[in-house]
Amino acid sequence: MKYNFLGNTGLLVSELCFGTMTFGGKGFWEAVGSTQQNEVNQLMKTVVDAGINFIDTANVYSFGESEKLLGQSLKDLNLNRNELVIATKVRGLINESPNGQGLSRYHIFNSVDESLQRLQLDHIDILYVHGVDYKTPVEEIMRALNDIVLTGKVRYVAVCNWPAWMVMKAQGIAERHGWNKFIGLQYFYSLAGRDIEREIVPMAEDQNLSIMPWSPLAGGFLSGKFTRNNETSISGSRRENFDFPPINKDKTYDIVDVITKIGKEHNVSAAQIALAWVRHQKSITSTIIGAKNNEQLNDNIESTKIVLSTEELQKIETVSALTAEYPAWMLERQSGNRPKN
């Protein structure tokens, strides 16, 4: 397992991060997974034995059950807390009370305390804001995040799913006040969804922010199970009841054809090729993988051994490339005589 620095923090995290969205299975989360304690413990043992030190959860996953199961597994397996980087999130609807969601100071502080109780921990290594809260000023959000770090309950703060302009606004506010800034970004990124290459990736490179891609297999669509000639395979899968994240399925079938062929040449699954491609991309620090069982987990872990050739990367690039949008095509046209590199 390779380890990469998290932004400019000096903290090393494994190139794979284990995501726990499949833990619990409460409510609509059952469509994603319903892994219970015995299976959770087996998965966590496999994770740690493979050298993965980065674990990702969220307070909303199965309405807190994922955090509980993860926390209990740390106890059951007697894992060394100081050798793990634990991340969780705040923003989503966790209960039906008037302040049961959002990024107000009130909700952030309450949510951190509740997450720590469920996790059975005394601190969270990385706290992500899980999305945008248009009702709370960015300055209040950043002040609250800075203050929660100063309590010692959180070590670092990071962000999920914000537009690039808002991340930069937040970073500017934090810089002006001398507050803790975001150190990383968790965004959807896969061969079937390369949208962050337009604004998020250039921002991350400029600001030395780590990127932790979620759903690198596009909700399982890049696993190789789904092909244009076998659409019935979606029946009974996660995609049947939880068709997320949204993708261009017709284009993705073309991508699956290419990575399946490359996978056969390497004698590995299409999923491993899809994960290897993400790992090869700029600014990617740790790719978040999830699994319902050890077979899936081990298959994902094996992807770290794959090195794609320049020719293979070009084939994948061609079939999955983004369509140029304005102002990108204008920037390319106008900068021909003054390239950025």
**Torsion angle of alpha carbons 287, 50, 5, 126, nearest 10°?**
70
Q: Which of 61, 128, 187, 189 is catalytic?
A: 61
Cβ atoms 85, 43 nearer than 8 A: no
Cβ atoms 108, 144 nearer than 8 A: yes
Distance CA 148, CA 279 (A): 32
Cβ atoms 192, 320 nearer than 8 A: yes
Q: Is 95 helix (H, G, I), strand (E, B) or coil?
A: coil
Residue 61 appears among annotated catalytic residues: yes
Residue 131 backbone phi and psi in degrees, to 5:
175, -175
Instruction: Tell me the chain's radius of gyration from C-alpha atoms.
Output: 20
Residue 246 backbone phi and psi in degrees, to 5:
-65, 135
Cβ atoms 83, 33 nearer than 8 A: no
Q: Is 190 helix (H, G, I), strand (E, B) or coil?
A: strand
Distance CA 252, CA 257 (A): 9
**Torsion angle of alpha carbons 260, 223, 85, 35, nearest 10°?**
-150
Distance CA 8, CA 36 (A): 36
Q: What length is written for the chain?
A: 341
Record the tokens describing residue 7, joined without a space: 């932004």
Distance CA 30, CA 22 (A): 8
The residues, ordered by sequence, that sit 6+ positions from 79 with a Cβ below 8 Å of its Cβ are 44, 48, 73
- 131: number of CA atoms within 13 Å, CB side? 12
Residues with a catalytic annotation lie at 61
